[in-house]
Amino acid sequence: MSTLNFKLRQAPVATVDLSALIPAKLAGLSTGDIEELPLGALKVADLFDVSGTLGDAIVISGGSPLLDYVGAGLDGGSITVEGPVGAYAGRGMRSGRLDIRGDAGAYLASNARGGIIHVTGSAGSFAGGARPGDKFGMLGGTVVVEGDVGERAGERMRRGTIIARGKFGAAAGSRMVGGTLWTETGFGPRPGPLLRRGTLIGPKVDDMLPTFADCGRVDPVVLRILSRSVAQTLGALAPKALPIIVHKFAGDQATIGKGEILLTG
């Protein structure tokens, strides 16, 4: 598989929108054409040394929290970033794979519909969330974050799965309407404010909202489907299969309350 490389020459001094650098938008362009592509006030060659040939894979060597919209709109192929990225990574992504070897900023995978995103560091606030103007947050796909995830992950998320090896910050799953947040470490304070539907899974919760109703021990079959589906999608990246029995809290009862927090611990 041929790879197109973007080597960051120096850290940018202001945010840069990298949504132009996905395989579908670069198809048919020569290296010269790509170097001339505008990135806001700059052009590609101002920031990156471009080498290699375009196929399905793009590698960005060197990252910065000022590189926004990395892999936004990705629809097939892969993008690997050797370093951190800024906000909106994988926004509106439809398929393919985005690997971030570092931290990701806010709104990771916002509005994403499919594909896989893997972050080896931590992710900022509103991961999988809706930004102002969006009707919904994440709409599909799978995100794996090796570290922690910031506050309000899954804000108005509708479908898809976000898995964190670390902890979700405060108010994870706020106003969520569907989908799954799954942590191997635990949730920060008060997850699920105004959660309508959707599933939050983790070993513990720092502070449970009083509007979540204790439903006791349950053994829903859907967790077996979820474990298998995630294992199939992610292979080696998949978390350990869920236990058969979990402790269910139904809420948020301040709204329709069809969501759930499932404690595995």
Partner 1 sequence: MSGKTINGIAIDDTFAEAFGMSALGLVITADSLKWAMISAQVMTGFGTSVIGCGAECGIDRALSPDETPDGRPGVRVLMFGFSPDSLVPQLRNRVGQCVLTSPGSACYNGLDSPTTLGLAAGPRFFGDGWQTAKKLGDRRFWRVPTMDGEFVIEDKCGLTTDAVGGGNLLILGRDRAGLLEATEAAVEAINKLDDVITPFPGGIVRSGSKVGSKYKGAVASTNDAFCPTLKGAVATECSPDTIAVLEIVIDGLTSKSVAEAMRVGLKALIDVGAAKGVTRVSAGNYGGKLGQHHYHLKDLLP
For binding to partner 1 (CB under 8 A), which residues are involved?
Answer: 140, 159, 161, 178, 180, 197, 199, 218-222, 224-230, 233, 258
If the CB atoms of residues 215 and 254 are measured against partner 1, the closer one turns out to be 215
Closer of 208 and 246 to partner 1 (Cβ): 246
Nearer to partner 1, 91 or 248 (CB): 248
CB of 221 to partner 1, least distance (A): 5
Smallest distance, partner 1 to C-beta of residue 230, A: 8
Beta carbon of residue 4, minimum distance to partner 1 (angstroms, whole number): 29
- Strand runs (DSSP E) across the chain, as ranges? 3-8, 16-17, 38-39, 42-43, 48-52, 57-61, 67-68, 75-82, 95-100, 116-119, 139-145, 159-164, 167-168, 180-183, 186-189, 199-202, 205-207, 213-218, 246-251, 259-263
Q: 81 CB contacts (<8 Å, ≥6 apart)?
A: 59, 60, 63, 67, 70, 98, 99, 100, 101, 102
Does residue 75 have a cis peptide bond before it, meaning omega lies within 30 degrees of 0?
Answer: no
Q: Based on CB atoms, which residue is closest to partner 1, 24 or 241?
A: 241
Q: How far is CA 191 from the centre of its chain?
A: 18
Q: How far is the CB of 210 from partner 1 (least distance, A)?
A: 21
Q: How far is the CB of 102 from partner 1 (least distance, A)?
A: 28
CB of 152 to partner 1, least distance (A): 22
Query: Which residue lies nearer to partner 1 by CB, 124 or 160?
Result: 160
Residues in the chain: 265
Closer to partner 1 at the Cβ: 29 or 231? 231
Task: State the Cα–Cα distance between residues 184 and 240, nearest whole angstrom.
Answer: 9
